[in-house]
Chain A
Amino acid sequence: MKGVWLVFKKEILEFTKDRKTMFFTLAVPIILYPLLFGMIGKMGQREDQQARSSQTRIALIDPSNVIESLIQARTNDFTLVPAPEDDEKARQAIKDDQLEMLVTLGASAAQDMAEQKTVAVDVLYNRVEKTGRVAMKRLEDALRELNNATVQDRLQKLGASSQLAAPTSIQSRQVGGEELLLAKLLGTMLPYMLMLMLFVGSMQLGIYVTAGERERGTLITLLATGLPRHEIIWGKLLYVFFMGIVNSVINIGAMTFSMGTLFGGREVSDGYAAVAAEEAAQLSGIAAVVDPTVITLTLLLMIPLGLLFSNLIVFLGVQAKNTQEAGTSMMPVVLLVLFLGVFSMAPGIEKMGILPYIPIVNVSLVIRKLFAQQASVMEYLTAFCMTVGLAVLLTYISTKFLNRESAIFKST
């Protein structure tokens, strides 16, 4: 087995000799993620602030003056602008950012209100824009206030208790705190990122040490040494596996840290400033949120998964005549990995009974459940053992296959 270590050492040394590759593999994620997420965070923060600090321009058609005085009283939130001539022009004005919303009440609104009928409030706004969502939230708040006051007034006139309009009242107590919600969110995204990084992160390096060696004419010099062929393959396998793990840890670490920066910078989410601030605080300390046991169990799952992926990379790399062919042959696998990753992010997927028995997908599922503190020992062991079994089987098959002369001697 000494040969495995020697080949691994040689590959690592060769990797460290190329500063560019080393920089792009190891340093770029550490720089890029905080930069990228920081920029997105800043932009989001600026958008939030702009939306909150500016008044909502509202065009109001309220002939019987049911809500006009209410809107006018909220000077911090609204400014009244003349109503466009028709609905089409109002739509265009909203699209052109000349106003945020058109609110229309019928001519008989005041009378309906007096007769205790429900008054329809027609609202035209752009939900796609942040300013539109803030406008809607402000209007809902204003109307809620009006509704409450009206109901209380009516109850008083009827001589009824103010509790008549509120037969129930929810007093919620949470089993998991906000941190569990966030851990669950992380658990949904993590399997996807993990799979992607494990495969894509080591793919190019894997191609370099397999098809690349063949293309550069160095593979035969390696095979002509006294090292057993399977040890050469395992050495390369170990290198691809190791780089996949390193890549994943660096990328996911940098991403998790940067996510804290992203959410930490945001102060408002559709007006729920307090909740957003709480979320931000939780996400900033995401590392502390996640249980070390969960992290350890996730890392343990990465080992067989990484081995499985590195087997695929080495297998396809040695099979290819050159680096171009290797890259092309790996694309369908990248797409499959992407698909499985996205599939594992789908909501409600954890309820599908068959999934714990589907390789790779079950790893995603268990990671999701681990972060949501819902995974059972049986589920974890099933996913772990199945992945280990598959990785060992694939190692055996690829070693057997790659030991063949026809796999090694191909013309470039």
Chain B
Amino acid sequence: MIHVVDIHKTFVVKDKKTRKKKTIDAVKGISFHVKPGEIYGLLGPNGAGKSTTLRMIAGLMEPQSGSITVFDHDAMTASEKVRRCIGFLSTDLGVYGRFTPRELLRIFGEFQGVDPKVAERRGMHMLERLDLTDFADVKMESFSSGQKQKVSIARALLHDPKAVLFDEPTTGLDVLTAKTVLDLLKIMKEEERAVIVSTHVMPMVEQMCDRVGIIFDGKLHGDAPPKEILSQYGVGTLDEVFFKLAADGGVA
């Protein structure tokens, strides 16, 4: 179970024009919960605070206030334990180009405390599931974006995490690869993992997510199943919810 309670995050940035420092409230009091076997969609435009929220849940960043617990581990005081039970997929498609997928998975398996032999077996199973077996021993520097994303997904799931955080998992992927990712999300739901997906691809959310939370200007608007959100805003699609929020400046 993932509990996010009233978290705030502020960044200090330098204004290029005035050369003065200013604070930006990236996340302003977000709260939600995700149960095992549930896919939670975090929606929002670029810069809304989705990635920051996911990074705080993964124990990579600390909120200024509020609390986050992931399967009873506090994300601030026990961030290493949190990271061990989380599979985190970043928006960055960075992979270690000099390694082959087999090598990468073995190394990251060890990082996550998985026995090398088990990591190898699980890794190969993941690669098979993601249709990458033929590329298991090919250096990743020549991989396409889709192949890199698949390897990243395998890396994130290698240690059999109870919770999965996917930040924009289908961005830049072709239709077929995106479908593979979506199918995998369904399997993770069946495997009783708590899944949070951040995206701005609305059809995917409507199709996949049990509940959604819309982040706009650092605040969470709505925390309900997609259909409830639609009726709450009196519109037919989540895109329209977005437009409405944008028109109202996030006040609705």
Within 8 A of B (CB), among A208-230: 216-228
Would A220 and B98 be within 8 Å (CB), given that A13-B107, A225-B83, A226-B112 are in contact? no
B94 with A3: CB separation less than 8 A:
no
Interface residues contributed by chain A, number (CB under 8 Å):
25
Q: Verify if A115 is at the interface (C-beta below 8 Å from B).
A: no
B108 with A225: CB separation less than 8 A:
yes
Alpha-carbon distance between A6 and B112 when the two chains are bound, in angstroms: 11
B112 with A225: CB separation less than 8 A:
yes
**Shortest Cβ distance from A412 into B: residue:** B92
Contact count band on B: 20 to 34
Residues in A neighbouring B61, C-beta threshold 8 A: 405, 409
B92 with A3: CB separation less than 8 A:
no
Residue among B61, B92, B111 with the most chain A CB within 10 A? Answer: B111
Would A224 and B113 be within 8 Å (CB), given that A17-B98, A216-B97, A218-B95 are in contact? no
**Shortest Cβ distance from B61 into A: residue:** A405
Q: Verify if A122 is at the interface (C-beta below 8 Å from B).
A: no
Residues in B neighbouring A219, C-beta threshold 8 A: 94
Q: Which of A7, A9, A221, A226 contacts B113 (CB 8 A)?
A: A226
Q: Verify if B90 is at the interface (C-beta below 8 Å from A).
A: yes
Would A220 and B92 be within 8 Å (CB), given that A18-B98, A225-B112, A226-B80 are in contact? yes
Q: Verify if B88 is at the interface (C-beta below 8 Å from A).
A: yes
- Chain A nearest CB from B177 CB (Å) reads 18
Q: Which of B83, B84, B94 contacts A217 (CB 8 A)?
A: B94
Residues in A neighbouring B113, C-beta threshold 8 A: 226
Question: Would you give the 0/1 interface string for B56-73, flagging 1 where the beta carbon is closer than 8 Å to chain A?
Answer: 001011100000000000
B111 with A13: CB separation less than 8 A:
no
A-B pairs under 8 A by CB, number? 71
Within 8 A of A (CB), among B43-90: 55, 58, 60-62, 80-81, 83-84, 86, 88, 90
A6 with B99: CB separation less than 8 A:
no
- Chain A nearest CB from B147 CB (Å) reads 15
Would A217 and B99 be within 8 Å (CB), given that A225-B111, A227-B80 are in contact? no
Q: Verify if A14 is at the interface (C-beta below 8 Å from B).
A: yes
Alpha-carbon distance between A223 and B90 when the two chains are bound, in angstroms: 11
Q: Which of B12, B81, B88, B96 contacts A218 (CB 8 A)?
A: B96
B110 with A6: CB separation less than 8 A:
yes
- Chain B nearest CB from A162 CB (Å) reads 80
Residue among B55, B95, B96, B139 with the most chain A CB within 10 A? Answer: B96
Within 8 A of A (CB), among B164-220: none
Q: Verify if A74 is at the interface (C-beta below 8 Å from B).
A: no
Residue among A216, A225, A227, A406 with the most chain B CB within 10 A? Answer: A225
Residues in A neighbouring B92, C-beta threshold 8 A: 217-218, 220-221
Alpha-carbon distance between A73 and B60 when the two chains are bound, in angstroms: 90
Q: Verify if A10 is at the interface (C-beta below 8 Å from B).
A: yes
Residue among B80, B94, B98, B113 with the most chain A CB within 10 A? Answer: B94
Would A220 and B110 be within 8 Å (CB), given that A13-B103, A226-B80, A226-B83 are in contact? no
- Chain B nearest CB from A325 CB (Å) reads 15
A405 with B62: CB separation less than 8 A:
yes
B90 with A3: CB separation less than 8 A:
no
Q: Verify if B93 is at the interface (C-beta below 8 Å from A).
A: yes
Residues in B neighbouring A3, C-beta threshold 8 A: 111
Within 8 A of B (CB), among A194-243: 216-228
**Shortest Cβ distance from A224 into B: residue:** B88
Within 8 A of B (CB), among A282-325: none
Residues in A neighbouring B110, C-beta threshold 8 A: 6
**Shortest Cβ distance from B85 into A: residue:** A226
Would A10 and B97 be within 8 Å (CB), given that A224-B88, A409-B61 are in contact? no
Residue among B90, B95, B152 with the most chain A CB within 10 A? Answer: B90
Within 8 A of B (CB), among A1-30: 3, 6-7, 9-10, 13-14, 17-18
Residues in B neighbouring A217, C-beta threshold 8 A: 90, 92-94
Q: Verify if B8 is at the interface (C-beta below 8 Å from A).
A: no
- Chain B nearest CB from A379 CB (Å) reads 44
Would A14 and B96 be within 8 Å (CB), given that A221-B152, A224-B90, A225-B83 are in contact? yes
Alpha-carbon distance between A221 and B112 when the two chains are bound, in angstroms: 12
Q: Verify if B155 is at the interface (C-beta below 8 Å from A).
A: yes
Residues in A neighbouring B112, C-beta threshold 8 A: 225-226
Residues in A neighbouring B81, C-beta threshold 8 A: 226
A6 with B95: CB separation less than 8 A:
no
**Shortest Cβ distance from A218 into B: residue:** B94
Q: Which of A216, A225, A226, A409 contacts B94 (CB 8 A)?
A: A216
B95 with A17: CB separation less than 8 A:
no
- Chain B nearest CB from A270 CB (Å) reads 53
Partner-A contacts on B (CB < 8 A): 12, 55, 58, 60-62, 80-81, 83-84, 86, 88, 90, 92-99, 103, 107-108, 110-113, 139, 152, 155-156, 159
Partner-B contacts on A (CB < 8 A): 3, 6-7, 9-10, 13-14, 17-18, 216-228, 405-406, 409
Would you list 20 pairs from A and B whose C-beta atoms are within 8 A, ordered by A residue? Answer: A10-B107, A14-B96, A217-B92, A218-B92, A218-B95, A220-B90, A221-B88, A221-B92, A221-B94, A222-B111, A224-B90, A225-B83, A226-B80, A226-B81, A226-B113, A405-B61, A405-B62, A406-B12, A409-B60, A409-B61
Extra contacts besides A10-B111, A217-B94 (16): CB < 8 Å: A10-B107, A13-B107, A14-B96, A17-B139, A217-B90, A220-B92, A221-B155, A224-B60, A225-B108, A225-B111, A226-B83, A226-B84, A228-B80, A405-B62, A406-B12, A409-B55
